Every structure is written in C-alpha cells, then in structure tokens.
Amino acid sequence: MKIRVVLVSKLESTLNAMRRVIQDDEITVIGDSPGGVQALDKIENTSPDIVIMTLGAADLDVLNLAERIILHKPRTFVILLAENLNVETVQSAMKVGAHNVIEFPTSPKSFAEYIKSVYNNETTRINSLTENQTITWMSRVITVFGSKGGIGKTTIATNLAVKLAENRKKVALIDLDLQFGDVHTFLDIEPKDTISELVQEVYTPNIDSVRSYMVVHPSGVHVLCAPKSPEYAEVVSPEKIQSLLSLIRTYYDYVIIDTASTFSDITVTAIESASIILFVTGLDVSILKNSKLSFSLLESLQQKDKVRILVNRAVETNSITINDVQKIIGCPIWAKIPSDYKIAVSALNRGVPFVIGAPHSKLSQSISEVANLLLTGSVDYDIQKSQTKEKRGFLRNPPAFKKNA
C-alpha cells in the first residue's frame, strides 16, 4: 500500500520541484492543485494520506487551507514546506494545528523518510484515538527461544522482524547468540560494530549511541549483531543486556531477540525481559525431550504465561503429530511453520529472508500469520509482573541446566 500524496502550490515550477524530490516506491503523487477551493475539492475527491504545501511568509491562504484540512479531514495529514524556516513561520503553523513543518527538501531520500515517518506517526496517533484498542502501545520484546541448535530460531527471528517492519512497525533485531550468532548471515549484512564493541566503548548509552552500533537492513529493521568472534561474548554481561534492552524498547514497537540454545545468564535475561517468548520446537523426539525440560524450567522461573509454542517444520505425515507435541510439552500450540528446505536454505545462502525473496511461499505465509497474531493480539502479559520476582539469585547459578543444550 503506497502513501498517497497531493501537492499544493500556486507555482507550477514549485509543483514540479516537489515532484522531483518525491521519488520513492512507497509514495505516490496522486494529484496537485494551486490551492484554495480547488485544493479542497481535490482532497474531498481523492482523500489523500498526505497533503504537502509550500508556505511562504505570512501566507494566510495556505494556513487557512491547512487549518481546514486538519480540522475536517483528520485522516489527511499536512506537511508544510517553509520557504524560510524561522520561529515566526513555525509559530504561525502551530497556531493552525500544523506541526509537520520543514524546509524545502533537497534530498529525495531524506524527504521520503520524512514523509513516511509523518505518515506512520500520525496514523498511529489517529488509530489510537479512534479505535477501541486492546493492542498495547507499549513496545514488545519478543524473545525467540528453543532448546536446541538448528531448529529454526534465527530463521524465524529474522523473517518475523522483516515482516513486522513491512507492516510499518519500528523493529529492532538483537542477536543474543553471543558466541555463534548468525543473524548477519541470514540478512547478508556486514556489521562494522557489534554488541561487544557497544558495551565496551559506550559507558552510558543513549539511543543515538546504541543506533550507531546497529546496521539498518534494507527492510528497515535495525540490527544489533553478535560479536564477530566467540571470545568477545564474555564482555557482554546480563546486567548490560538488561539496561540496553530497557533503553532500546522505548524507541521501537518490536524488539526481536534471537538467542542461543543454552540456558545461559544471557538467555535467561532475554527470557525475563520478554513480553512474549516464542518457544520454537519441532516434531522429533530429541527436540521434544529438550523442549519439555526447557518448558518445565520456564515454568519454575514463572515465565510460562509468556510462552507461545511455535512448531517449526511441522510436517503432518510425521510419526509425531501436533497433538503429541501439546501433550508432551504440556502447553497448547500457538502457531506452526511448514517445512520447506529448499526455500529456507536458498534464502539463507542468498542472505535474503524468504519473506522478501519468496513472499508467496507457504513458509512466508506462515510467518505473516505469526506477525498478524502479534499485530492484532491483545495485551499478552503484564511486563511488570515478570520483572518484580526475586528469582535472580536462582538464575545466576542455574543448577544443572547450564549444560542442558
């Protein structure tokens, strides 16, 4: 779905200049108008998402038009391009309720970003005003966990992150498989810096410093990669992870965490910080045995309520059925991902998540379904509840579980 834009300016040359700086696949100019009643007609007939108008000094026509749109067409958002961006211009715009005011853009890329961010933010605001929302506005931390290597955690974490970003959500993806993390391989990105440089170089992180250690994937997902070599893993402590997560989650709609298969302190921190634990399991005896053990451990850590069981490579002809899985683990199945080795592996080898490279495949459809469950789901868990428990002492010395990979 493209963002539909109408341009308003008295000057043909300005309209052309505006068209030139709007170059983006996701934005389409559906019309223009010199202003006044003609502009109102155009907006009435086309219901654009965004109206972009140029604003000269003391340009009362434009301000009146902006005010009418803001008051009567709350779903059409107004962007004003000021010829001269000074305090008076901004104040006069604010007076009529227009708060998206910038100078005439020079770079199409940053202008497209600006238009999209206005569209996203205003849409979120309008939706939260009008919809009877059960959807939490709090960001969600989704920890993808599974009790074995190779069961599809990273596949699911990366594809889900991209899918949520496609739904115009702000998504951070954090690779907490600190020793052997391979999120960067799945996404074909080469991080200059990783989480280990971040925790070593930045003592009091703020969101800008954290972002400078993230890689922006073309899908829009911000990725914090795992250390480049296993020995750097130890510089990353659970305390650092905890404070990083509480900082990062303030700025993103979804924080997806990929984890290692062990119950390390780091994994436990990711589990405790989660609003949802996507517990990946599969249809073989060995995976199920480990899953059962892990699930009981999560139960004893009082994290059970957050668990959503996701069966990967769910092949119906298998000797173990979905019903068996529910019985063995003792928890209902929340979602299933089919098996498609060819698509999964070629996506991995190309470094292009299948939700992008093979969007119509069954695999991608199942990821979309999971994304929709997350996007439309009601409040899953009271995050406070999970953070007040005094279980840390136990977690610091997880008895025999550490070895249970």
Ligand X SMILES: Nc1ncnc2c1ncn2[C@@H]1O[C@H](COP(=O)(O)OP(=O)(O)O)[C@@H](O)[C@H]1O
Chain residues binding Mg ion by CB under 5 A are: 153-154
Smallest CA-to-CA distance from 356 within 199, 197, 162 is with 162
Instruction: Write the binding mask 277 to 316 for ligand X: x where contact by CB under 6 A, - elsewhere.
Output: -----------------------------------xx---
- Residue count of the chain, please give it: 405
Determine contact, residues 43/76, Cβ cutoff 8 Å: yes
Closer by beta carbon to ligand X, 123 or else 339: 339
Residue 168: which residues within 8 A CB-CB, separation 6 or more? 116, 120, 123
- For residue 149, state whether it binds ligand X (rule: CB under 6 A): yes
On whether the CB atoms of residues 114 and 26 are closer than 8 A, the answer is no
What is the full DSSP assignment across 199-240? HHH-SS--HHHHHTTSEE-TTS-EEEPPPSSGGGGGG--HHH
Q: Of 142-150, 190-198, 315-323, 378-386, which segment contacts ligand X by CB under 6 A?
A: 142-150
C-beta closer to ligand X: residue 151 or 276: 151
Which partner in Mg ion, ligand X, none is near 50 (CB below 5 to 8 A by kind)? none
Q: Minimum Å distance from CB 345 to ligand X?
A: 5
User: Tokens 């009643």 — which residue?
Assistant: 37
**Closest distance to ligand X from the beta carbon of 40 (Å):** 52
Report yes or no: 157 and 141 within 8 Å, Cβ to Cβ.
Answer: no
Least Cβ distance, residue 39 to Mg ion (angstroms): 53
CB of 244 to Mg ion, least distance (A): 20
Least Å from the CB of residue 173 to ligand X: 13
With CB under 6 A as the contact rule, the residue among 55, 62, 98, 151 that binds ligand X is: 151
Determine the residue with CB nearest Mg ion.
154
Residue 230 lies near ligand X (rule: CB under 6 A): no
Collapsed DSSP state (helix, strand, coil) of residue 328: helix
**Binding track over 361-380 against ligand X, x by CB under 6 A:** --x-----------------
Total of chain residues touching ligand X, rule CB under 6 A: 18
Which region among 28-36, 126-134, 269-277, 334-342 touches ligand X (by CB under 6 A)? 334-342
Helix axes of 265-273 and 238-248: crossing angle, nearest 10 degrees: 30
Question: Which entry of Mg ion, ligand X, none binds 244, CB below 5 to 8 A by partner kind?
Answer: none
Measured between alpha carbons, how far is 401 from 293 in angstroms, rounded to an integer?
A: 9
CA triplet 264, 191, 107: central angle to 5 degrees? 135
CB of 43 to ligand X, least distance (A): 47
> Is the separation of the CB atoms in 42 and 6 below 8 Å?
yes
Q: Which of residues 202-221 bind ligand X (CB under 6 A)?
A: none
d(CA 82, CA 57): 8
* Type of residue numbered 12: E
356 CB neighbour count, 10 Å cutoff: 18
Do residues 277 and 271 make contact, with C-beta atoms less than 8 angstroms apart?
A: yes
Query: Cβ 347 to Mg ion, closest distance in Å?
Result: 14
The pair of three-digit structure tokens given for residue 172, joined into one six-digit string: 């951070």
- Which of Mg ion, ligand X, none does residue 345 bind (CB under 5 to 8 Å by kind)? ligand X
Question: Quick check: helix, strand or coil at residue 343?
Answer: helix
366 binds, among Mg ion, ligand X, none (CB under 5 to 8 A by kind): none
Stretch that binds ligand X, among 162-170, 215-223, 301-309, 343-351 (CB under 6 A): 343-351
Q: From the CB of 343, what's the least distance to ligand X, in Å?
A: 7
Q: How far is the CB of 332 from ligand X (least distance, A)?
A: 20
Binding site for ligand X (CB under 6 A): 146, 149-155, 312-313, 337, 339-341, 344-345, 348, 363
